[in-house]
Chains A and B, each alone.
Chain A
Amino acid sequence: MQVDKNWTPTIVAFCCNWCSYAGADLSGNNRLSYPANVKIIRIPCSCRLNPMFILRAFQRGADGVILCGCHPGDCHYTTGNYYARRRMTLLFSMLDYLGIEKERTRVEWVSAAEGAKFAATMNEFVEAVTALGENKRLEDFRCKQ
């Protein structure tokens, strides 16, 4: 597949308020850079992430979606990330079935102390999605202006 050299993917990162959003802040504090295509949406807990949001992102032209939450056992709401983990497992296998490459979605546990991990994860993820090229499978072209 031919990839436009100037093309960069659109990445939506859902970060839980307590760990991962703080981890993203920390990578900012430490000036650890990651690609600007990553746009973060703050949610209270990883369990707030409705699979619909991910489908919506792909429909609107996102090329990759990543969910970051507290490490298992560390959830601010005790069990939220366990629900998120199960739901995403189901959703990702369905997306795989639909032909969305597995590399376009990811769940990563990032604590408030792991600024470096956040930046490294984003760098890796953007690289992986860039290698895949544009997401056309679920994109709804009626949404394009």
Chain B
Amino acid sequence: MQRIGVFVCWCGSNIAATVDVEAVADALSKEPGVVFATNYQYMCSKSGQDMIREKIKELGLTGVVICSCSPRMHEATFRKTCESAGLNPYMVEIANIREQVSWVHKDKAVGTEKAIILGRAAIAKVQLNTPLIAGQTPVTKRALVIGGGIAGIQTALDIADAGFPVDIVEKNPTIGGKMAQLDKTFPTLDCAACILTPKMVDAGQNENIRILSYSEIEDVKGYIGNFDVKIRRKARYVDEEKCTGCGTCMEKCPMKKVPNEFNMGLDNRTAIYIPFAQAVPKVATIDANYCLKLNTGKCGICSKVCLADAVDYEQKDEILEEKYGAIVVATGFNPISLEKFDEFAYSQSPDVVSSLEFERLMNAAGPTGGTLLRPSDKTHPHTIVFVQCVGSRCDASAEKGKEYCSKICCMYTAKHAMLTREKYPDTEVYVFYIDVRTPGKGFDEFYRRAVEQYNVHYIKGMVGKVVPEGGKLKVQASDLLDNRQIHIDADMVVLAAAIEPDKSARPLATKLTASMDTNDFFTEAHPKLRPVESPTAGIFLSGTCQGPKDIPETVAQAGAAASKVISLLVKDNLVGNPCVAKPDELMCNGCSSCEKVCPYGAITYEDKPFRGPNRTTLIRRVAVVNPAVCQGCGACTVACPSGAMDLLGFSNRQIMAEVDAICK
């Protein structure tokens, strides 16, 4: 039998005004196991807590019931109080007689009666409480960053700065991501490469950062502090250690007709390639889909011309097995495919381009060397129409496009329009918009400059149809403000395609057991208060994998994710929640029901020896719960057909005791 002390709080007049606290303490003192019951003005005050400590020591209490405000308010406080008096903190139960009684029931007699019943239920529960000790698990002091765009690079740099080793896993041959493809950045118009490439070099040279480019995540096991990750290092047929990035192989490669994905397919590259001049790591990669040697067995020129002897046609995919304490997801975005938007003639005319393609056409390192030329006939366009919200803010019932606002399109369209007008003042630029959204530092000023200083024609309305005709693009649109139809003969149409999470994100989320929303953006643990953490402990989010963002926001979030990772990695041990599931091995029959419902993969099975009849040993398969992974939801306890699984702190017997006390 426990020795229980009951402490009834007045909460000033919050409780005492509508509950007869003395009567409650008096009634509860008669309950079995209660050796002491009292009431006091403020139990959470220092003197109230001192009294609890004193009574625990004086009377040798083994359980404490506090009738006060919600456990969400002060459970932690009173647990600490009891712990400091030498009582296990999980021997404390709270009867919520403020939020559930005094504040909702005005009648004192009714309130007092309910308070007594809630007190009884808490006493009945505490009778069955057992001391629980939170488990400790060691932390592997290394981080993994998945994705090597600006988000991943910044996160890795910040973590590495704090002295922890970081691996960046990037599926492409180089880090840099989408930002490396951009020309200028809004609203300052500084060149993307000028601010990104130094960071890429920093990441490549930082001794705490290891870049695993051309690699993908194969499998993730484990839990916060102790992840076991398998990384597939795809065969690039070039020895990374030996390759100097001189580029001779690219000059000599006879296969020159491979669409260049870095330039959005606007020009071609060779089968052995370095994506762009500032690539990190600057190592050649052979595209196995196009290489003549790998496909036909004839050629081998790159191997012959390579002075470093780096080409290796025999290379195979390699699986690395690594341990990490924390994982940051920075998988980024892609513009949506525009094939479904046939009204804009994207697949009919090469002069209808997406914004990212336009970005490459404007870029000095792009396919045209920075001169704006129409992809079809390489002439200079004199009339350009920009269409905003292509695939963004679509109706949920529509079969194409996204419901959300892609956030960055208004600003980059203003940038494109402005840059075009600056470089080619003879060009007429029209922008069709639903709304112009410019919430950001210096954004609205930037947009107004495009309109007022650069005379970009902003027209509120959507483009209905684009028809390629006689080398021109006939644009039919409506002007909603003037309520009239507009026909423009354009030379080029630029579509501000919505952005969507990278296709690799969903399979990755499954491997990480991290949750996603319906648009495949990773969900955060709390939309306001925990914006860079996934609900799955130990997984952090950085950049556009969590939602549309511009570069400053991405960098800010990357830093925030890094600081969360650092505050995890500085800990030597993690203290867990002791209220976890616990199987009774004698009752478990290893049926796997519990494993199937566990959202965290905390349950595994082991063959264990048990004593059988006549001194024999029986080997039986029984469930084992990893307390570091279990979050204590209790789904398994109900799924278990033999009733072997129970939840510490909320055991079947404890809840039944509460039910009994309430229904008496």
Contacts and interface: CB of A to CB of B under 8 A. Distances in A.
Interface of A: 10, 12, 21-22, 24-25, 27-29, 31-34, 36, 39-45, 47-53, 56-57, 60-62, 76-80, 83, 87, 119, 145
Task: List the 7 closest A-B pairs by CB distance, nearest first.
Answer: A28-B99, A48-B634, A60-B663, A77-B633, A28-B103, A47-B635, A45-B633
Interface in B61-101: 70-72, 96, 98-101
Given A21-B72, A51-B638, 14 more contacts: A22-B72, A27-B99, A27-B104, A34-B104, A36-B105, A36-B114, A39-B118, A43-B650, A43-B655, A48-B638, A52-B656, A53-B655, A60-B663, A76-B633
Interface of B: 70-72, 96, 98-101, 103-107, 110-111, 113-114, 117-118, 121, 515, 535, 579, 597, 599, 631-635, 637-639, 647, 650, 652, 655-656, 658-660, 662-664
A53 B659 contact: yes
A13 B633 CA distance: 18
B445 to A, nearest CB: 37
Given A56-B659, A60-B663, A77-B635, A42 B121 contact: no
A47 B114 contact: no
A48 B579 CA distance: 12
A87 B100 CA distance: 27
Contacts of B71: 42
24 contacts: A12-B662, A21-B72, A25-B70, A25-B96, A25-B99, A29-B99, A29-B103, A33-B104, A34-B104, A36-B105, A36-B107, A39-B114, A41-B659, A43-B650, A45-B635, A47-B634, A49-B638, A50-B637, A50-B655, A57-B659, A62-B662, A77-B599, A77-B631, A78-B599
B659 A60 contact: yes
A91 B579 CA distance: 27
A37 B98 CA distance: 15
A47 B594 CA distance: 12
Given A25-B72, A83-B597, A44 B659 contact: no
Given A10-B663, A28-B104, A47 B633 contact: yes
B450 to A, nearest CB: 40
B18 to A, nearest CB: 11
Contacts of A44: 579, 632-634, 647, 650
Nearest to B658: A41
Nearest to B517: A73
Contacts of B100: 24-25, 28, 40
A41 B101 CA distance: 13
Given A39-B114, A50-B652, A12 B663 contact: yes
Given A36-B113, A39-B662, A48-B635, A31 B96 contact: no
B513 to A, nearest CB: 9
B593 to A, nearest CB: 11
A25 B664 CA distance: 24
Nearest to B640: A50
A87 B121 contact: no
A5 to B, nearest CB: 16
Contacts of A12: 659, 662-663
A50 B660 contact: no
A45 B579 CA distance: 12
A51 B652 CA distance: 11
A47 B95 CA distance: 22
A52 B652 contact: yes
A10 B662 contact: yes
A50 B659 CA distance: 12
A39 B121 contact: yes
Nearest to A144: B664
A60 B647 contact: no
In this complex, which of B98, B101, B656, B659 has the most chain A Cβ atoms within 10 angstroms of its Cβ? B659
A41 B633 contact: no
A72 to B, nearest CB: 13
B123 to A, nearest CB: 14
A48 B649 CA distance: 12
B609 to A, nearest CB: 30
B636 to A, nearest CB: 9
Contacts of A49: 638
A31 B105 CA distance: 9
Nearest to B71: A42
Contacts of B103: 28-29, 31
Contacts of A62: 659, 662-663
B110 A36 contact: yes
A43 B540 CA distance: 28
Contacts of A51: 638
Nearest to A31: B103
A22 B96 CA distance: 12
A56 to B, nearest CB: 5
Contacts of B98: 28
A119 B663 CA distance: 21
A50 to B, nearest CB: 5
Nearest to A63: B663
Contact of A24 (B99, B105, B114, B656): B99
A101 to B, nearest CB: 18
Contacts of B107: 36
